[in-house]
Amino acid sequence: MKRLMQLTVAATVVMLAVGPALAQQQRGGGRGFGMMNTIFLLNQKSVQEELKLTDEQIKKVTELQQKQREAFQNFRDMSPEERREKMQEMSKAVDGILKPQQLKRVKQIALQQAGARAVNDEEVAKALNVTDEQKEKIRDIQRESFEKMRELGFDEDKAKERESLQKETNEKMMAVLTSDQKAKLKEMQGEPFKGKIERPQFGRRRQ
């Protein structure tokens, strides 16, 4: 499980880089970054308890994360169409596991965790009426952040710097949105999730 979590977080960093391109190529409902984050969240005990998942649902979610891991191993080498198809496949799988109310709530939690990065999802961008100019500004911020994140690497002693960079990046991206857009995003996020999200600590040891 720990290894799967590490790969999921690593996938998140890659999506920070490829997300803007995917967002352009996935008009009409791209859920790349958001779907990866959703599957990660569904494997959190706190989220499973919040959603009241059954043992059978938890088993299916675990199996889905394994498939995500296998897909991510070749993600960079996939064409935009292949990436889109893989994300749609995962999206349908999640839809098939969760009940409507559970799906709604995990999306809200995912939006809370994503912060301003949620606008990479075309559904969110459309709901917020994000302009092309705003999207470009957000992409520039993400590119800059990714370069800094790559320079920091994943050593444990850089954890606080990575956390600070993520916070700074989110603040810059939120600043691009208007007051109305921020209010709408907050509404879409629903009630604050109070559970704990366990995130792996990266160190120098290799497995």
pLDDT digits (tens, 9 = 90+) for 10-52: 444 444 444 444 444 333 334 445 666 889 999 999 999 999 9
Residue 23's pLDDT is: 41
CB-CB contact of 137 with 69 (8 Å): no
Residue 35's pLDDT is: 67
Residue 130's pLDDT is: 96
Residue 100 to residues 51, 95, 103, Cα–Cα distance (Å): 11, 8, 5
Q: Is the pLDDT of residue 5 over 80?
A: no
Q: Six-digit token pair at 103?
A: 């799906």
Q: Six-digit token pair at 199?
A: 């995130």
Angle between helices 159-176 and 132-152 (to 10 degrees): 170
**Does the predicted TM-score (pTM) go above 0.85?**
no
Residue 9's pLDDT is: 46
The full set of domain ranges for the chain reads 2-189
Q: Is the pLDDT of residue 202 over 60?
A: no
